[in-house]
Amino acid sequence: MCKRVLLLTTCLALLAATSGTRTSGADDSQPNPRRLFPFCEDGKSGYMDRRGNTVIEPRFDRAGDFAEGLAVVALEKRRTYIDRRGVVQVTVPRQWRHVRPFSEGLAACRIDGKYGFFDRQGKLVIPPRYDEASDFREGLAAVGVDTGSRPYPKADHTSKVYGFIDKNGREVVQPTFRWASDFHEGLSYVCFEGGVGYIDERGTVVIRLEHEVNACPKRCRVYAGYDFSEGLALIEIVTSGGGEYRYINKAGVFLPRERFPTPAGDFCEGLAQFAQGDKSGYVDRRGHIVCKPMFDNAGCFSEGFAALQVGDYFGYVDRQMRFIIRPGESCSSGTGPLNDGEPFSGGLARVHIGGFFDDEDRFGGNWFFGTWFYMNENGDLIRRIRHDNESGPGYGMEYRPYGTAPEVSEEMKRNWEALRSSR
């Protein structure tokens, strides 16, 4: 059985202002003086630098992160792309839906239910003919088509088949796979008739994961795989006694050491998150545990730091597991403890303070009555991003389709006032 597997433990991810299908999330993540960050003020969005100084005045209805020098913003009910001066470079036609950030010079959009790609001049260079499409990564984009659409073959047990296109729109890997992930380090995880494995950019299966795994002491079966990260990929194996997760290298050889009962994370800066029971820790690329499971949640490392959760609160550690801010500890500015946070990107991390999280939404949840801030590596809050009741993209654990703010009922307001009064 083939399916896309999601990590059960949260590796906090950066979210763009607009969402689409199978996005890779390219962004200007390097910490340089020109990096700009979106924020909201009096209901409008603008951009600031790393020190919190306003660079582009708040005038947009919504604003996303910059990717390849351009950012998607909502202006007068239209989606447009602006440069770092705030000048509009591309105005998207109204019938183009689900527009995404640029990745390798092209951006995806959805027109009449099909995905295509346009360039930085706003010209549609790959016609919309795919039911699913990822962003371009390593020169290729994964695409999916309904199996009932000719000339694509009918595949068993799935409604779509997947392949890859290049930037000219040429199908360099024909859509025949039951699933195909984006390319990472030259390899893509795929599901095909009779098994799973990894292909190269020509579509050749270079790692075939047989259902029978000789390295297992019991009769077992490969169930699913993850993307390669720093030379290793996580594989889910099902045995007669349950299941386990192990890492393989690019030769298809399993690492001899740690086996994990629950999904582990991708390797980021030499470390990967893993869980034992209800606690999380970190393992290095040799399979050695470098931090025993002691956190309720552990995020991926980015720019030398990782977000951690203990109870209801978040903190951040460096690669030596030294805290720059402890869970439950107030920031250096004296503001209350963090209850959500994202990885560092461009020298800053988005963190949330106050309010409460409502996870009743079947897709996720929303924060209410709190505030998002930017925080630097010293634990200093640089500037407020937005209040929870303001429109904007979802951060951290939030689910915000199209960047709209969640509705606040009168009952919710009364409950919140009662909670504040009782503290």
d(CA 229, CA 246): 14
Q: Which of 78, 61, 80 is nearest to 70 (CA)?
A: 80
Going by pLDDT thresholds of 50, 70 and 90, the confidence category of residue 423 is: low
Least confident of 8-12, 195-199, 235-239: 8-12
Look at residue 212 in the predicted model and tell me its pLDDT. 47
pLDDT tens digits for range 41-67:
998 999 999 999 999 999 999 999 999
Residue of 133 and 150 predicted with greater confidence: 133
What is residue 56's predicted lDDT score, i.e. its pLDDT? 97
Residue 365 has a pLDDT of 86
DSSP-assigned beta bridge partners for residue 199 = 188, 205
pLDDT in tens, 247-285: 999 999 888 877 888 889 999 999 999 998 899 999 999
Query: What was the pLDDT predicted at 221?
Result: 67
- Taking alpha carbons only, the member of 168, 159, 177, 114 closest to residue 141 is 168
Among 17-21, 178-182, 280-284, whose mean pLDDT is lowest? 17-21
- What pLDDT score does 399 carry? 80
Would you call 227 exposed, middle or buried from its count of C-beta atoms within 10 A (0-12, 13-18, 19+)?
A: middle
For residues 50 and 147, which has the higher predicted lDDT (pLDDT)? 50
pLDDT in tens, 295-333: 999 999 999 999 999 999 999 999 999 999 999 998 877
**Across 240-394, where does the E strand assignment appear?**
242-248, 271-276, 279-284, 289-295, 297-298, 305-310, 313-318, 323-325, 338-341, 349-353, 356-358, 366-368, 371-375, 381-387
The structure tokens listed for 123 are: 């010209």
pLDDT of residue 410: 82
Q: How confident is the model at residue 216, as a pLDDT?
A: 47
pLDDT of 7:
29
Distance from C-alpha of 170 to C-alpha of 166, rounded to nearest angstrom: 6
Q: What are phi and psi of 257, to 5 degrees?
A: -95, -110
pLDDT at 4: 29
Cα 23 to Cα 366: distance, rounded to the nearest angstrom? 21
d(CA 166, CA 184): 15
Q: What's the gap between Cα 9 and its chain centre? A: 13
CA distance 266 to 7: 10
Report the amino acid identity of residue 126. Answer: I
pLDDT-derived band at 158 (thresholds 50, 70, 90) equals low
The yes-or-no verdict on residue 215 having pLDDT over 60 is no
pTM of the entire predicted model: 0.84
pLDDT at 393: 85
Give the range with max mean pLDDT: 129-143, 208-222, 279-293: 129-143
Of the candidates 357, 375, 377, 376, the residue with the CA atom closest to the CA atom of residue 367 = 357
- Region of poorest pLDDT, from 54-68, 121-135, 361-375, 401-415: 401-415
Percent pLDDT > 90 in the chain is 61
Q: SS3 of 278, please?
A: coil
Residue 174 has pLDDT above 70, yes or no: yes
* Separation in Å, CA 390 to CA 62, 125, 235, 370, 371: 10, 36, 41, 11, 10
What pLDDT is recorded for position 220? 56
Nearest C-alpha neighbor of 337 from the set 366, 356, 313, 308? 313
